[in-house]
Amino acid sequence: MNYPEFHYKWEWRLRSPPERLWPFVADTNRFNRDTGLPGVRLADDAVRESARQNLGFSKLGVQVEWEEEPFEWVRPYRFGVHRRYRAGPVASTRVLVELEPLPRGGTRLVYHTWLRPKNLLGVTTVPALMRFSYARAFDAAFRRYDQLAMTAEPALEQPAGVRFIPGGRARLDALRRELVARTEEPELVARLVETVERGTTSSWQGYAPTRSRMRGA
């Protein structure tokens, strides 16, 4: 049975600008921990050439597994991801987080989640969790990140570089060679690769915050 998709939207007006909030908000591993989600694990050892991963966790005896597409980033203004579930009460989710600078300073942060249940368990339990449990947890996390962003030293917010997924470095090298062959612009490609390697990291994926989706890095 194809259940209808639910859409949840939360909005905050925070004191910090997007540039200072970004290292906290875009750290999805940290956000998961701070909002009570279990630690995510690889559901198998395979990472596809497209950089999709099979991931999962267990909560209250329910096994949840999904295929995750690469994150899409526009630092420091937005990021999103699409997940298709293989096990658990949910069929698919989409997440979009937007950070809009306000004219008088600060940030309007908007968090969207689109969620399609897979079965009756998803229909009956997930909406309640989203509206009550996760809504409070998200609010507490983002307000705490705002406080941290107001007091953190800017130098401490800058990551050392990208942590590649398994096979990501080899995939980036292959893409570099392909781009050089297509464009005959080795210096330009080298600068692009350097941007990917030194870009913002977030979550276990390690994707660079470019305007186009960079798969596998």
133-191 tens-digit pLDDT: 889 999 999 999 999 999 876 544 444 455 666 666 777 788 888 888 888 888 888 87
Residue 117's identity, in one-letter code, is P
What is the pTM assigned to this prediction?
A: 0.67
CATH of 6-158, one of 3.40.630.30, 3.30.420.310, 1.20.58.100, 3.30.530.20: 3.30.530.20
Helices (H), the chain: 18-25, 28-34, 120-128, 135-151, 154-157, 168-183, 186-198
Q: Find all residues with CB under 8 Å of 181, minimum gap 6, and list them.
A: none
Grouping H, G, I as helix, E, B as strand and the rest as coil, residue 43 is strand
> How far is residue 93's CA from residue 113's CA, in Å, rounded to a whole number?
7
90: Cα within 13 Å, side-chain hemisphere: 25
Among residues 75, 73, 81, 71, the alpha carbon closest in space to that of 18 is found at: 75
Q: Retrieve residue 212's tokens.
A: 């186009």
The mean of the pLDDT values for the chain is 79
pLDDT at 61: 66
Strand runs labelled E in 75-136: 78-87, 90-101, 107-117
Contact yes or no for 205/165 (Cβ under 8 A) = yes
Helices (H), 93-134: 120-128
List per-residue pLDDT tens for the chain, 217 residues long.
Answer: 789 999 999 999 999 999 999 999 999 889 988 998 776 766 665 555 445 667 666 666 667 787 888 888 898 999 999 999 888 889 999 999 999 999 999 999 999 999 999 999 889 888 888 888 889 999 999 999 999 999 876 544 444 455 666 666 777 788 888 888 888 888 888 877 777 766 544 333 333 333 333 333 3
Provide the 8-state DSSP code for 48.
-
Contact yes or no for 100/108 (Cβ under 8 A) = yes
Q: How far is CA 132 from CA 125, 135, 138, 177, 199, in A?
A: 11, 5, 10, 49, 35
